[in-house]
Amino acid sequence: MSSVPEGDLARRAASGDQEAFAEIVRLHQQAVFNVAYRYFGNVKDAEDAAQDAFVRAYQFFDRFDVNRPLAPWLKRITVNVCLNIINADKPTASLDDDLPPPKDPKPGPEAQTATRQRERRMRAEIVGLPPRYRAVIELRHFQELSYTEIASALKRSQSDIKSDLFRARKLLAERLIDLKHETSD
């Protein structure tokens, strides 16, 4: 996509170059949007949150170590922005009726419908979790951070993070079992 190394882009953006920042947005908007989409489950709120996340990233760019990769940093900011939106009691919509198409669609129409149903159910379960649980599930399972990294990203203690994460998984497991009973009845 771009021949400019990411470090150079980051350095230029850090010195206030808006063109460089625009390029960073173009490169990372997909990933940032998906973090927010997993959190809210609807395009409108996810797009708003993605925008907020980039504006925040721009304002705090001097705190970013330009020698490190941008994506993890941007995605961590997005999780915090999503949490802030929820904590500010901004009204958010529910899960989309029609999920947007996957970025890399797999071939085969039949397999697709079945997978889409499973995906939809899983998204609904994530969106149905309490905000804090959503954040830890996102950071552990989708961004693959360690407990320590999650704790520092959310500015909470590691034992809090572990207890939230384990409870979130327990909740998800219970709901998925319920669903299995419903579908087999």
CA-to-CA distance for 123 and 138, rounded, in angstroms? 11
**Segment interacting with other proteins, rule: CB under 8 A, options 4-12, 74-82, 87-95, 165-173:** 165-173
Closest listed residue to residue 82, CA positions, set 119, 127, 124, 123: 127
132 binds other proteins (CB under 8 A): no
End-to-end CA distance of the chain: 50
21 binds other proteins (CB under 8 A): yes
Give backbone dihedrals phi and psi of 157, rounded to 5 degrees, phi first.
-75, 155
CA-to-CA distance for 73 and 23, rounded, in angstroms? 16
| The one among 2, 18, 87, 113 contacting other proteins by CB under 8 A | 18
31 binds other proteins (CB under 8 A): yes
Give the residues lining the site for other proteins (CB under 8 A).
14, 16, 18, 21-22, 25-26, 29-31, 33-34, 37-38, 43, 47, 50-51, 54-55, 58-62, 99-104, 115, 118-119, 122-123, 126, 137, 140-142, 146-147, 162, 165-166, 169-170, 172-173, 176-177
